[in-house]
Amino acid sequence: MSSMSTAQQPASGNASSEPKPSWNPLKCSGTDLPKNLAIMVKTLAIAALIVNHVRILPDPWLPFVPFLDRFPPVLFQKTLQTLFLVSALAIVFNRRIRLFSLIIGSTMLVAVVSSKAYYGNNKTFCGLMFLLAGLYKPGAPNFFRWQLAITYFGAGLNKLLDPDWQSGIFFENWALNRLHQPFYIALNSRLPPLVLARFMCWATIVTELAIVPCLMVRQLNSAVVFCNVVFQASLCLFEGTTFTLFFYSMTACSLALVKWPDQPAPVFYDPSRRVSHVARRFFTAWDLDGTFHWIPLESTPRGRSPLYLFAGKTVYSGFRALQMIFLLNPVTYFILAASIASLQSMPADVGTFLRRIVVGSSLVLLAPPFAWILDRLSGPGTLSSHPLPGPVHERLSA
């Protein structure tokens, strides 16, 4: 994801050169937000709609802001629900998504402060993601980066100063007595007491606190995005839940840290190979925003990669190129969010199992190490990384 992750701030949308926003929910171009932010809020809106989050929006009950319980409860709740639903649908269908991000974010944050029964870190963070997208201003600092840093700092600091985290007692109780985590139990039984628990606690503390300074170093952006996604996915895999909206929000936040290609990304393919045509047909079928521009290579020496992707200043070849074509297509994120969220309605054990399958397989298939291994394993003449052929090389030097 290196070319996607060099941005210090989200790229600005260019309304004049882009098409009008489409009603097609799978499209993202032409909206009043940069594409990465549009994908982020649409992904969150899809997840929130599918898990039917609107049903748990509260009436005022032990509010953090006292005057809120002076509103008529039913009117208050119905207003929140209406605003939430209308905004989420507007975002999904590309209608004034910056404005409606502002509205849905504000709605969620008002809900958070209006009821201690509804209050939760996941809802607060999700509301903040929407709100910050709604407040997006070209040229302003990337506030998503700041928000992620504060979140990890708060989480890491609280654990660091908690004796139950220092000793491992928290993790031992959580994994053994609450989750009955079979892998943890199996491994724990082979180790001295609390060794594994202490390791897991300190690994969590170090990860959370280490991400904070890394977020401020531009050169480490790719690593931060990778660590954030892997860390959140690991939590989801371990517990088997999405922690209500936390998993969606924290992973989607990574999208705000990367830069999407401003222009259609050229994909050079070898027209003499059948696999190239299969890949082109497959990916073109769901490239609804025209993110990629497929160009046949004029000459491809034997044994070279049949596929090259240019994204920003980075060139990808082989399986890494295929992986990046998945990652740069917004539909990938919509499908992932929708498939994970739709498991909410299943019986708990089935949903947990399938959620782990979806999250785990996505993590493996879309992470750089998998493509790297495939590229190393594949021999000459297959989809693998190779020196650039003539026309591509010319483009690189241009």
Partner 1 sequence: MRVIIPLLLFAFQLGAIVYARFVPTRYFCWAPYDTQTEYWANATVNGHALTAPEFRHRYRRPRHGFDNRSPQHVIDMLQQVEQKRAALGEKASVVVEYRVNGKAPQTWRWPSTSPQREVD
Which residues lie near partner 1 (CB under 8 A)? 61-62, 64, 116-117, 119-122, 124, 128, 131-132, 135-137, 140-141, 143, 146-147, 150-155, 157-159, 161-162, 164-165, 169-170, 172-174, 177-178, 243, 246
Report the nearest approach of partner 1 to the CB of residue 71 (Å): 16
CA–CA distances in Å: residue 267 to residues 6, 258, 286, 374, 395: 20, 20, 15, 20, 12
Report the nearest approach of partner 1 to the CB of residue 83 (Å): 18
Report the nearest approach of partner 1 to the CB of residue 180 (Å): 13
CA–CA distances in Å: residue 380 to residues 155, 306, 320: 47, 11, 15
Report the nearest approach of partner 1 to the CB of residue 82 (Å): 22
Comparison of 177 and 219: residue with beta carbon closer to partner 1: 177
Comparison of 62 and 366: residue with beta carbon closer to partner 1: 62
Comparison of 117 and 203: residue with beta carbon closer to partner 1: 117
Residue 395, burial from CB neighbour count under 10 angstroms (0-12, 13-18, 19+): middle
CB 276 within 8 A of CB 269: yes
Residue 48's region, left for phi above 0, alpha for psi from -120 to 50, else beta, is: alpha
Comparison of 177 and 397: residue with beta carbon closer to partner 1: 177
Report the nearest approach of partner 1 to the CB of residue 243 (Å): 7
Comparison of 20 and 116: residue with beta carbon closer to partner 1: 116
| Strand runs labelled E in the chain | 265-269, 292-296, 307-311, 314-317
Report the nearest approach of partner 1 to the CB of residue 152 (Å): 8
Q: What is the CA radius of gyration of the chain?
A: 23
Comparison of 169 and 363: residue with beta carbon closer to partner 1: 169
Comparison of 81 and 276: residue with beta carbon closer to partner 1: 81
Report the nearest approach of partner 1 to the CB of residue 116 (Å): 5
Report the nearest approach of partner 1 to the CB of residue 155 (Å): 5
Comparison of 138 and 301: residue with beta carbon closer to partner 1: 138
Residue 308, burial from CB neighbour count under 10 angstroms (0-12, 13-18, 19+): buried
Nearest to 149 by CA among 221, 98, 46: 221
Nearest to 273 by CA among 159, 380, 136: 380
* Amino acid at position 311, single letter: A
